[in-house]
């Protein structure tokens, strides 16, 4: 068997196992709390693993390893931001959110506010963030699977050329995520994420050990070889090859550095505002278990990002930048190529290489599936619980109706994402993940923090924070160089950009906080102030929590 055949066998096994889990979980999903929150029956450790599975996307596995392999040190900045962000969730959000909410992010935001405007805003923001993220993952999945199966332009596979194979992959990934969510609900999704976390951590650990042993566990030698092979010398081990690039143009240098700061802020503040992460806190029985989940998540995610460091520098040293960019300019293929290289080195020739490559390809596929399932669940929960049950039906919908609507929504959102991803597949949509983080940090995070900690906060303030942050982030990105005006933009042949930064965070995050503040100061909401007593006591003590 060659690598492609082994990869396909592993893909099939993975699909069968995850579908089996989903059907099993579906049988135990009866009530709304089962569908939305997995019956709140998961332990802190299980949920910590699932959070890892939900969070560590293909963008962070293949993407960060790729950035490190091609740009060295700068990839490290990403992983640090993604990890430190968890302290915000741990210290300020996880436990309080678990105590005060029920199924969605909006449960906390609308707790003491007028339901309809706040739930509508939260649903709009949840669905926007999730769809952006989902699109990036699905388009990435299409390109990735074509790449992993080695379907080169011009060649065919099962009668499909590379473009058809990409579309087929997008449809397959979409169909699987719809099935996981509609059939398995939160329970099915959680188990898929746990399986993925185990696979990803094991795969990364094996590769890390092989890389380190190739350099006799001497980190300095690994870095030295990586720098030499990269052709960039010591600059490879220093900041500045990719972000905050210095050039002779002072204005350009200034913007480039601002962009780096902007990215750094969005990464660290975005995580705690991502709806698909926040709803994971509801799957455990109480606040203490939510705390344990985040502690485990920090341990797992931190270990993982340390390993990507070894993988990235290992790929640079052993595979080399030239061989990587020859197959994929973005560097996403770095980790799979490293797997092949290590397999050949340690598991015995070409077969060994093929086996390890296939395993890592399957791990990457599992990674994508778990993340898209989490995103689909978050957006359909919000559509059903926030928009349908509380805005359209004004809280009069029965649990049964809600779950039916949630399942239909998952199907609808999945179908829409498949269509959008197919249309977007030839466009460069990698920036959508950063945009999702920026929207989460600019709109959701201010609203959540004000809700939990500021008694005076009002309905107008909440709505202003969410829309203010959301709109400013989206508008700034629309007029930024990632959408138009540069060779790597989404529309490289047009130019309507006037905003100089790729990441809007440095403007839109303060703006979101400011909108929430001004909206509050210009309004009065005595009901919200009165009900803060209930929110505060409940969030801190857990008395009356669901």
Could you list the residues that contact other proteins (CB under 8 A)? 73, 76-77, 80-81, 83-84, 86-88, 90-92, 219-221, 223-224, 227, 234, 237-240, 243-244, 246, 257, 260-261, 264-265, 268, 288, 291, 294-295, 298-299, 302, 305-306, 453, 530-534, 536-538, 540-546
Q: What is the smallest separation between the CB atom of 292 and other proteins, expressed in angstroms? A: 8
Nearer to other proteins, 167 or 545 (CB): 545
C-alpha–C-alpha distance, residues 34 and 26, integer Å: 9
Alpha-carbon distance of 446 to 466, in angstroms, equals: 8
- Nearer to other proteins by Cβ, of 495 and 530: the residue is 530
Instruction: Encode burial over 436-473: b for 16+ CB neighbours within 10 A, e otherwise.
Output: bbbbbbbbbbbbbbbbbeeeebbbbbbbbbbbbbbbbb
Helices first, then strands: H and E counts in the chain: 23, 2
Distance CA 518, CA 464 (A): 8
Contact 170, 143 (CB under 8 A): no
Instruction: Report the nearest approach of other proteins to the CB of residue 429 (Å).
Output: 25
Shortest gap between Cβ of 295 and other proteins (angstroms)? 6
Give whichever of 421 and 452 is closer to other proteins, judged by the CB atom: 452
Task: Report the DSSP beta bridge partners of residue 157.
Answer: 160
> Based on CB atoms, which residue is closest to other proteins, 300 or 364?
300
Task: Please count the residues of the chain.
Answer: 546
- The CA distance from 196 to 423, in Å, is 28
CB of 412 to other proteins, least distance (A): 30
Q: Do 434 and 262 form a contact (C-beta atoms < 8 A)?
A: no
Instruction: Give CA–CA dist 100/72, Å, rounded.
Output: 43
Write down the least CB distance from residue 419 to other proteins, Å. 38
Contact between 520 and 451 under an 8 Å Cβ cutoff? The reply is: no
Question: Least distance from C-beta 96 to other proteins, angstroms?
Answer: 9
Q: Which is nearer to other proteins, 317 or 364 (CB)?
A: 317
Closest distance between other proteins and the C-beta of residue 237, in Å? Answer: 6
Q: In the complex with other proteins, which residue's Cβ is closer, 4 or 291?
A: 291
How many angstroms separate the Cα of 359 from the Cα of each of 126, 204, 539?
Answer: 34, 11, 44
Task: Pick the closer one to other proteins by CB: 12 or 219.
Answer: 219
Q: How far is the CB of 303 from other proteins (least distance, A)?
A: 9
Element (H, E) at 161: strand 160-161
Nearer to other proteins, 260 or 356 (CB): 260
């Amino acid at each position: 068997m060659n690598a492609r055949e082994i990869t396909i066998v592993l893909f099939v096994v993975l699909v069968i196992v995850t579908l089996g889990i989903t059907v099993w979980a579906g049988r135990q999903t009866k009530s709304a709390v089962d569908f939305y929150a997995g019956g709140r029956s998961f332990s802190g450790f299980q949920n910590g693993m699932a959070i890892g599975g939900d969070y560590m996307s293909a963008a962070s596995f293949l993407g960060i390893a790729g950035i490190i392999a091609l740009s060295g040190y700068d990839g490290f900045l990403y992983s640090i931001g993604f990890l430190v962000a968890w302290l915000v969730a741990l210290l300020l959000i996880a436990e309080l959110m678990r105590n005060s909410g029920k199924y969605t992010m909006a449960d906390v935001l609308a707790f003491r506010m007028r339901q309809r405007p706040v739930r509508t805003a939260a649903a709009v923001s949840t669905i926007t963030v999730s769809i952006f993220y989902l699109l990036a993952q699905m388009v990435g999945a299409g390109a990735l699977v074509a790449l992993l199966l080695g379907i080169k332009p011009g060649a065919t596979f099962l009668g499909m050329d590379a473009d058809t194979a990409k579309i087929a992959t997008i449809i397959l990934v979409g169909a699987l995520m719809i099935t996981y969510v509609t059939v398995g609900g939160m329970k099915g999704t959680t188990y898929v994420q746990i399986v993925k976390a185990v696979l990803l951590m094991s795969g990364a650990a094996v590769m890390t050990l092989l890389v380190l042993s190739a350099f006799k566990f001497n980190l300095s030698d690994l870095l030295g070889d990586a720098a030499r092979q990269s052709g960039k010398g010591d600059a490879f081990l220093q900041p500045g090859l990719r972000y905050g690039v210095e050039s002779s143009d002072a204005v350009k240098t200034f913007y480039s550095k601002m962009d780096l700061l902007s990215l750094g802020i969005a990464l660290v503040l975005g995580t705690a505002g991502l709806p698909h992460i926040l709803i994971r806190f509801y799957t455990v029985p109480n606040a203490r278990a939510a705390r344990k989940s985040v502690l485990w998540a920090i341990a797992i995610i931190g270990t993982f990002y340390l390993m990507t460091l070894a993988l990235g520098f290992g790929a640079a040293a052993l595979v080399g930048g030239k061989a990587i960019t020859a197959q994929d300019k973005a560097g996403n293929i770095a980790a799979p190529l490293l797997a092949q290289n290590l397999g050949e080195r340690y598991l015995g020739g070409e077969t060994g290489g093929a086996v390890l490559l296939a395993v890592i390809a399957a791990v990457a596929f599992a990674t994508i599936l778990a993340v898209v399932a989490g995103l689909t669940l978050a957006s359909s929960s919000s559509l059903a619980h926030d928009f349908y049950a509380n805005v359209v039906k004004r809280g009069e919908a029965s649990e049964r109706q809600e779950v039916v609507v949630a399942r239909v929504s998952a199907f609808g959102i999945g179908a829409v994402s498949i269509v959008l991803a197919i249309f977007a597949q030839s466009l460069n949509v990698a920036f959508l993940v950063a945009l999702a983080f920026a929207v989460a940090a600019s709109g959701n995070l201010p609203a959540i923090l004000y809700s939990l900690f500021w008694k005076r906060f009002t309905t107008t303030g909440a709505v202003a924070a969410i829309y203010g942050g959301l709109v400013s982030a989206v508008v700034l990105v629309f007029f930024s160089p990632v959408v138009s005006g540069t060779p790597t933009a989404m529309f490289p042949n047009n130019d309507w950009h006037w905003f100089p930064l790729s990441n809007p965070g440095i403007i839109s995050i303060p703006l979101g906080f400011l909108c929430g503040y001004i909206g509050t100061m210009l309004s009065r909401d005595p009901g919200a102030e009165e009900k803060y007593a209930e929110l505060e006591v409940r969030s801190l003590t857990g008395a009356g929590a669901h």
